[in-house]
Chain A
Amino acid sequence: MIDRPILNVWGAEHRYGTRKVLRGVDLAVRPGEIYALLGPNGAGKSTLVGAICGRFKLTGGEVALDGLDPFVSPLARARLGLAPQEIALYDHMTVRENLEVFGRLSGVTRRDLGASVERALRLTLTSDREHVLVRHLSGGYRRRVNIAAAILHQPRLLILDEPTVGVDIDAREALDAVIRNLRDTGAAVLIVTHDLDQASVLADRVGFLREGRKILEGAPRALIEQAFGQEMEILVQLENEPDIDGQGILAAERLERREGNFWSRFDTSGYRAAAKLDRRLRSLGMTPREIRVRAPSLQNLFSLVADWRRAA
């Protein structure tokens, strides 16, 4: 049986003055689900999160947390935990002291505070740093404590705003483990991020926002397969910047510029097509520095969808 969504957003619309930032967004997040809300700057992600947190009333549409409007109902907001993009902690206090303060501020009773802090430390794998001042923690630990401070009151919906900003690769793996831990407790996790790699690794479902509209939604692998089928991405890095003739050759080979001197195309033949392309380019005097073949990613999907929308 599929659980009823904890979070429901219906036709969210919002404007600041004459500027429309949300244009009818629907969203539903279920218990035990990690949902990644993706999109470039200005897509409307922060506005949508603000409305979900009850910071303001939408100019159109509705938000419901367990059926309650978070703008009106403190009970709705009690079901919500927010880990902001910034490290929203007191850096002159230890990890435990911070958790005790935010526990009290989020309504945990004095009696339950100890157990609540222990649980948060355990779930975020930060018990070994509980007596360290926040200002002395590494970036990865700070991120995890930032999350710990949002789960003290055991929210049913946890919102993580850009949780990987400033986090190195090793710390990111630990952070991913923490987020999975939280999902496994039955909480719904809404990650708002630019980080498509993290979304594809972690999220059960993703939603792309662009210019205030949700342009795509679904499970990452399913969406990618639906868009690219058996195609693989062939990525070519050239030694030198191609001249006009070279660019003509690349266009004839259906290669499109990505970033810098990287060019790519999608091909169902994968490695065979890459070998053929290598021979062809060398024969034309364009020696590739490197050719890679890789499965399409959410980044590819997002670019593809953005291009479709632009073309439309």
Chain B
Amino acid sequence: MILAMFRVMALALWRDRGALVMTFLLPPLVFLIFSAVFAGATGEDVKLKLAIADDARTPASRRLADALLRDPDLRAERTVPDAGARVRALVKAGRADAGLIIRADPAASGSPIIVVSDPSRAVAAPLTMARAQQVLARDMPDILLARTLVETAPAVGGFTRRQTAAAAVAMSSLAEGRAVAVGPSLFVREDISGARKGGGAIAYYAGAVSILFALFSAMTGALSLIDERHSGIADRILAGTRGMGPVVTGKFLFLIAQGVVQATAIFATAELIYGVPVLGHIGPWLITTIAASTCSAGLALGIVAFCKTRDQGQMLSTFIILILAAVGGSMVPRFLMPPWLQMAGWATPHAWTIEAYQSILWRDAGLSAVYPAWAVLLAIGLAGLLLAHLATRLVR
């Protein structure tokens, strides 16, 4: 009986070629788009568009402006006219991510550089400052040394004539590239062990798109419960001996299978195009996928079973899909969210699913790290199934 309903659902999808294509081809396509769009959001590939004006017009300011313009990690442009007001106008108009105005000689004391930013692109200001610091350290170490001497002189009671002369020689050597007298950088970057460059974001979005579509497709499939109520099919079945139980369970199993096939299409794309190591972790991946699909199927049926009309079901499911996807990190990584929202994310299946996939495919974290996610996802799915059974009994 359960298989009979499974067959009904499978034939409905198979004979609607448009729906079939959308169910199994759209998710990998959306995954490719999401990963292309959002993979850069980790900061690795960010190239800021920077407007530069040199109001100081000193040799050092010209050197700094030229060095920034040459920097391959920036898309820097000198404004025309070369003035701070033009930089501010470009940033305000959104034609530059940030602006940099050299208002005084960089070698002099004080704050000779202004970074202009739009609060809606708040991350651009610190990135610009960091890039400018790197450019100064790499291309103008003499200027940094000069600034250091100017700023430390009052604290040490001034320098002797001999010290000043030695500093001048050092600065000259640095300017000509003959010496590296500035000490090592304060920071040394170390990537986590075994990290694969760029793959983290890909594995993240493969999981994010997978759970997003599993829930979306499950909701659409679960709406057939309402159609059956309105077409009299539920009346016919309820007049029989078994009630709607086999119908709900058959749909549940079909929606799980559908979710697994969808996830397979997405992760196969991730492996083929980005080298995400799915086959190397096939066992845990499969369990995570089944758990996520079970969760989606149960949640969808549990929600739709309480809706009276298709319109209600569609509105409610759209609302729930969007909210869960946004809070759970299917759209924007959760580490970029405020702390309270990161906490709230644990109430969504998306966060658990993404975390489980990340643990398996990116961090090689071992099974002990994913058991909690599997338990949560399966529990949500089975609770949803139970609710759906209860709801269909109530309408008897």
The answer to whether A105 and B237 touch across the interface, beta carbons within 8 angstroms, is yes
Q: Which residues of A contact B240 (CB under 8 A)?
A: 77-78, 80, 105-107, 153
Could you tell me the distance between the alpha carbons of A157 and B16 in the complex, rounded to whole angstroms? 37
When the two chains form their complex, are residues B7 and A87 in contact, meaning their CB atoms are under 8 A apart? no
Residue of B4, B232, B235 touching A105 (CB-CB under 8 A): B4
Q: How far is the CB of B222 from chain A (nearest CB, A)?
A: 16
- A78-B241 contact, Cβ under 8 Å, with A84-B236, A86-B232, A87-B232: yes
Q: How far is the CA of A80 from the CA of B236 in the complex (A)?
A: 10
Q: List residues 246-263 of chain B with CB under 8 A from any CB of chain A.
A: 246-247
Once bound together, how far apart are the Cα atoms of A106 and B240, in whole Å?
A: 6
Closest to B4 in A: A104
User: A47-81 vs B: 1/0 string, CB under 8 Å?
Assistant: 00000011110000000000000000011011011
Cβ of B365 to closest chain A Cβ, rounded Å? 44
B230, B238, B241 — which one has the most chain A CB atoms within 10 A of its CB? B241
Residue on A nearest B224 in the bound complex, by CB: A90
Q: How far is the CA of A102 from the CA of B7 in the complex (A)?
A: 12
Q: Is B396 an interface residue (CB 8 A)?
A: yes
The DSSP consensus for interface residues of chain A is loop
Residues of A within 8 A of B11 (CB): 90, 92-93, 97
B residues in contact with A82, CB < 8 Å? 235-236, 239
Chain B residues 214 to 241 lying within 8 A of chain A, measured CB to CB, are 230-233, 235-241
Question: How many Å from the CB of A57 to the closest CB on chain B?
Answer: 11
B180 at the interface (CB under 8 A from A): no
B8 within 8 A of A: yes
Q: How far is the CA of A97 from the CA of B239 in the complex (A)?
A: 20
Which residues in B have their C-beta under 8 angstroms from that of A78?
A: 240-241
Q: A88 in the interface, Cβ–Cβ < 8 Å?
A: yes
**A33 located at the interface, meaning its Cβ lies under 8 Å from any Cβ of chain B in the complex:** no
Q: Contact residue range for chain B?
A: 20 to 34
Quick one: CB contact mask for B1-12 with A, threshold 8 Å, 1 for yes? 101110110011
- Complex CA distance for A102 and B3, rounded to whole angstroms: 12
Bound together, the chains give a CA A55 to CA B396 distance in angstroms of: 5
CA distance A90 to B237 in the complex (A): 13
**Chain B residue contacts of A75, Cβ below 8 A:** 241
Complex: how many Å from CA A78 to CA B240?
A: 6
Residue pair B233, A74 in contact (C-beta under 8 Å): no
Contact of B241 among A85, A101, A106 (CB under 8 A): A106
Asked if A149 is at the interface (CB within 8 A of a chain B CB), the reply is yes
Whether, in the assembled complex, A36 has its beta carbon less than 8 Å from a beta carbon of chain B, the answer is no
Partner of B246, one of A53, A93, A105: A105
B239-A105 in contact (CB<8A): no
**B242 A84 Cβ-Cβ under 8 A:** no
Interface contact B1-A88, CB-CB below 8 Å: no
Select A90's contact among B1, B12, B230, beta carbons within 8 Å. B12
CB-defined contacts of A90 to chain B, threshold 8 Å: 8, 11-12, 233
Q: Please tell me if B189 contacts chain A, counting CB pairs below 8 Å.
A: no
Docked-complex contact B5 and A101, CB < 8 angstroms: yes
Given A55-B396, A101-B7, A105-B247, are A89 and B233 also a contact pair (CB < 8 Å)? Answer: yes
- A54, A56, A88, A101: the one within 8 Å of B8 (CB): A101
- Residue B15 CB within 8 A of the other chain: yes
**Sample (23) of A-B pairs whose CB atoms are under 8 Å apart:** A53-B235, A55-B235, A56-B396, A78-B240, A78-B241, A80-B239, A80-B240, A82-B239, A84-B235, A84-B236, A86-B230, A86-B232, A88-B231, A89-B231, A89-B233, A90-B233, A92-B12, A92-B15, A92-B16, A101-B8, A105-B246, A107-B241, A150-B236
For the complex of A and B, the 3 pairs showing the least CB-CB separation, nearest first, are A84-B232, A86-B232, A88-B232
Interface residues of B (CB under 8 A from A): 1, 3-5, 7-8, 11-12, 15-16, 230-233, 235-242, 246-247, 396
A residues with a Cβ closer than 8 A to B are 53-56, 74-75, 77-78, 80-90, 92-93, 97, 100-102, 104-107, 149-150, 153, 159
